[in-house]
Structure 1
Amino acid sequence: MRVDPVHPVPGTGPPAFTTYTARIGTAAVCYLAGELDDGTRPAAAAALRRAQGHRPDRLYVVTSGITFLACAGLDLLLATRSHLVLQHAELHLVAPSRPVLRLLELTGTSGVFPTDEAVPMRGVSKARVQQPEGEPVGRVRTAPRVRAVPDDVGVTTNVTTNVATSAPIGRTAFETADPDAAAEFIKRIYADAPHIRMVGRPTGGPVYAIDGRSLGQLDLGEVTLTPEITARVDPSELVTIETVRSGRWDTEARDGSVSHGPGDTVVAVGPGVDYRCTTSNLRVQALTLPGSAFTASLTPEAAAKPWRFLDRRPADPSGTALWHATTAYVEQLMDNADAQAGPLLAATAARMVAAAALTVFPNTLTTGSQPVRRDGADATPETVRRAVAYIEANAERDITLADIAQAAYVTPRAVQYAFRRHLHTTPLAHLRRVRLDAAHRQLLAADPTTTTVTEVAARWGFAHPGHFSAHYRDAYRTTPSTTLNLARS
């Protein structure tokens, strides 16, 4: 049964279904927008389950964006209400749209759900669902305003997300299968520092999801971009460092092009960070903090001077390991932090993360800019020749960036610059490819009855079989096991 549907504007197609969840103090918010019927009920049910996962004493379901409501959607709301009653919690409908009110009236369930015009913010003034421009008083982080359907349809889906009140741990969850909503979200995700310019727009779906937490100045989250996205990133005071979980992330900057894959850690946003990028089926862990955290320990005069990152990648593998340990510590801290703890823990964590980032990624705060000019002068084709010869002769050994640089008679940073300038890659990426080629040759020549893919991967330094298979598929468009079985045929 469809009640009072809102017809789409000709040529735009039907509105997509969008969900969003967040925690506000001891309450939770679930935002639903689009057509709620049998087809979209699973997505709505998943969002409501996520909201209930916060164990709220009250669940606010924002239905202002529902363009029509079927009985399947109403049954879902009634079932959710019954489940919450068993947990001594309540379900409130916020700013119900005309289709929602109409179905409640027809089915005689108008009095079952308490309704509110806005979501009450515990400890702050009310934030209007339909009028988010009037931000409430207090510390409120505002996510991008997402418009899921055209203005002509008459449904505005503006939301406020990741609201922190007295608790230091804030939570954000957002996902959408609407390419336009995803593009708008990505464009505005850094609303206070607009430094990302979208060149293309996502296509297909589901297209975008973010699940994150915040502790003081720190934001840690998992971000998924399913389609191919092209963007231009400009320097920013905000710093975001990302570790690739899966997918591909190709970047093009003034000093060359680099492809990032699973396990790679990169400064995605920050002072001096300027590049163009394309992503494909990308999932990353992102840790964000303001630039002020990096200069907090400096004198006012020193903190006022501009600074920048000199390299978006760690200087060596030990730096990558240090950053992975840092993010693991922040995850554990957010898992175990008391919801009512004071700000001291958050401030200490931010300083620790900033110190780790300055240790891992070359920057002018700790090294100055003069060494870069000397290293740049050593980034010659001869440096590349010596480094490549050393890598190919020692690929079976446990060699490091420092070993490669020593063999080329330059500093580690100089050999990095040389590879980027002349080969458009990094020394360690080249080492990985040399080892991958050697593993490929061994798989072709091996006896599949006595040799396993894991053994070959381990011999060539790939400790994780899954990572080895991913790199192998990217390079040869097939799987290692398929190559190994070629010998049998």
Structure 2
Amino acid sequence: MVIREQAALLGGVRMPEGNPAGRVPVQRVELATGHMDVMAEISQMFVQHQPWFRCADPGTVDAGVRIAIAGGLGAGQARYRGFEYRALVDPLDRLLAGITVAGTGALMSSGAEALTAPGDAFLHPPQAPFTFESHDSEYSLLQVPLAAAGALAEEMTGLPAAGLRFEAMTPLSASLGQRFGTTVDFICDQVAASAITEIHPLVVQELTRLAAGAMLKVFPNTTMTAGYLPGPGWVAAAAVNRAAAFIAARAGEPVTVQEIAAAADVSVFALEYAFQRHFGTTAEGYLRRIRLERAHHDLAQADPSSGITVEGVARRWGWTTIGQFTVAYQRRFGVPPSLTLGN
């Protein structure tokens, strides 16, 4: 296919060779083109749609994508400069949101319309057809499974995951939109801008939760408008102990709060309430506490001459940046992680 040939010439569709144990392969698509029809074809790889495009001077077309996908998480940039692009998009089974970097655009669905300009955040309507328009534009994008957002919504509020619905394509406020832009830039830098070919599953899990959580906080949805939800009920200490033991046994894996709740035979909402009562934190917070202790152990037992680094240990236990890990580590143990490794 022509598009794959052009992408390959630019180092485009790069599939990692093999899959090292415990690693998630990062799939990449990178393409630059001056042809609108090529950009339309590459866009179909991400969103099935009926395209329409035009420009006054084909010589001004500057289009391209730089997208990386790890598991269900996707991040990157799409560029539609020098021409107009219109797409009638089939319903999505995932959440796709982003920031307008340049140009203007519009989203239309079920009679609603959202106009975008540089700096504006937007959410493509999930599970409903919509129309997308781009005018000399460029975007930074995030993609997460709808199920991941539903599970996180249930964890946070008790709302059943299947009941999650997004109710608008624009943020609750301009300031929240700006904060979302910071999250988009961070995840794009971690996944799309780097040259990594595989990533630790704990890091994928953390980045996916970060993206899904940002979408839940920024774009209007049913977690913000749900009526009465039943209380968590009483949770026996034995159930909490089962959950804690499950976390201790599986801390090195991308375990979810739903799996922890299932191991304890309680609902996610009840689990969170019980952990707050017993440990003063959420189940996710307790899991991160255990992972931090495991990281401390690894650093304390490591031989500095073996090539082990603080960054490597941090990523092994799910921290996406060395800065975040250092802050958490020093708050917990009173010294920077580099000092533990050095001694």
What TM-score, normalized to structure 1? 0.39
Query: Unaligned stretches of 5+ in structure 2?
Result: 229-343
Structure 1 residue 219 displacement after superposition: 1.3
Q: What are the residue-to-residue correspondences of 1:330-479 with 2, within 5 Å?
A: 330-334=187-191, 341-368=199-226
Can you list the C-alpha shifts for 1:387-408, whole angstroms capped at 9, x where unaligned? xxxxxxxxxxxxxxxxxxxxxx
Q: SS of the counterpart of 1:295?
A: helix
Is 1:290 aligned to 2:145, yes or no?
yes
* CA shift digits 1:315-371 (9 cap, x unpaired): 01221122022123313433679755420111111012111110000112442389x
The residue that corresponds to 1:38 in the other structure is none
User: Please, which of 160, 172, 176 is the counterpart of residue 302 of structure 1?
Assistant: 160
Q: In 2 relative to 1, CA 20–352 (structure 1 residues): closer, same or farther, beyond 3 Å?
A: same
Cross-structure match for 1:123: 18
Q: Partner of 1:236 in structure 2?
A: 92
Q: Is the 8 A contact 1:171 1:214 kept in 2?
A: yes
Contact 1:220/1:288 (8 A) holds in 2? yes
Counterpart of 1:175 (choices 3, 11, 32) is 32
C-alpha displacement at 1:248, in angstroms? 1.4
SS at match of 2:115: strand
Asked if 1 retains the 8 angstrom alpha-carbon contact of 2:78 and 2:138, the reply is yes
CA contact (8 A) 2:16 2:197 kept: no
CA RMSD of superposed structures (Å): 3.8
CA distance in 2, matches of 1:369, 1:362: 15
Do the aligned partners of residues 315 and 168 (structure 1) sit closer, same or farther apart at CA in structure 2, a change above 3 Å counting?
same
In the alignment, the residues of structure 2 paired with residue 120 and residue 264 of structure 1 have an alpha-carbon distance, to the nearest angstrom, of 32
Q: Deviations over 1:113-138 (max 9, x none)?
A: xxxxxx997228xxxxxxxxxxxxx9
* Separation in 2, partners of 1:258, 1:301: 27
CA offset at residue 18 of structure 1?
Answer: 8.2
Aligned CA distance change for structure 1 residues 186 and 235 (closer, same or farther; 3 Å): same
Distance change (3 Å), C-alpha of 1:369 and 1:314: farther
Cα distance change, pair 331–177 in 1 and its aligned pair in 2 (3 A):
closer
CA–CA distance in structure 2, aligned partners of residues 243 and 189 of structure 1: 17
- Paired with 1:347 and 1:296, the residues of 2 have a C-alpha distance of 13
Q: C-alpha distance in 1, partners of 2:78/2:5? A: 16
Bigger helix share = 2
TM-score normalized with structure 2 length: 0.53
1:127-146 counterparts in 2 under 5 A? none
Closer, same or farther in 2 for the Cα pair 1:234/1:338, shift >3 Å? closer
Aligned to 2:176: 319
How many Å apart are 1:246 and its aligned residue?
0.8
The alpha carbon displacement at 1:221 in A equals 1.0
Q: What is the DSSP-based 3-state SS (H/G/I as helix, E as strand, rest coil) of the residue aligned with 1:236?
A: coil
Q: Deviations over 1:79-105 (max 9, x none)?
A: xxxxxxxxxxxxxxxxxxxxxxxxxxx
Cα distance change on mapping 1:261 and 1:185 into 2, 3 Å: same
Percent of matched pairs sharing the same residue: 20
Residue equivalent to 2:43: 186
Q: Secondary structure at the match of 1:289?
A: strand
- CA separation of 1:369 and 1:256: change in aligned 2, threshold 3 A: farther
1:90-101 matched pairs, under 5 angstroms: none
Relative distance call for 1:236 and 1:369 in structure 2 (3 A) is farther
Indicate the SS of the match to 1:210.
strand
Q: 2:104 aligned with 1:268, yes or no? A: no
1: CA distance, partners of 2:143 / 2:220: 18
Equivalent position SS for 2:217: helix
Partners in 2 of 1:337 and 1:301 — Cα distance? 38
SS in 2 for 1:357: helix
Going from structure 1 to structure 2, the CA distance change for 1:310 and 1:337 (only over 3 Å counts) comes to: same
Q: CA deviation at 1:236?
A: 1.8
Matched residue, 1:454: none
Gaps of 5+ in 1: 1-15, 22-29, 32-46, 55-59, 61-118, 125-137, 139-164, 371-489
2:50 aligned partner, one-letter code: R
- Contact kept in structure 1, 2:144 and 2:208, CA below 8 Å: yes
Distance 2:189 2:45 in 1: 29
8 Å Cα contact 1:19-1:176 kept in structure 2: no
Q: Given the alignment of the two structures, is residue 197 of structure 1 paired with residue 50 of structure 2, yes or no?
A: yes
Maintained 8 Å contact 1:18/1:177:
no
* Cα 1:120/1:294, change in 2 over 3 Å: closer
> 2:186 aligned with 1:329, yes or no?
yes
Superposed CA offset, 1:151-182 (max 9, x none): xxxxxxxxxxxxxx955444320233333333
Structure with the greater alpha carbon radius of gyration: 1
- Which whole-Å CA distance do the structure 1 matches of 2:173 and 2:140 have between them? 20
1:288-333 Cα distance to aligned partner (Å, 9 max, x none) = 1111111234389923x25321111110122112202212331343
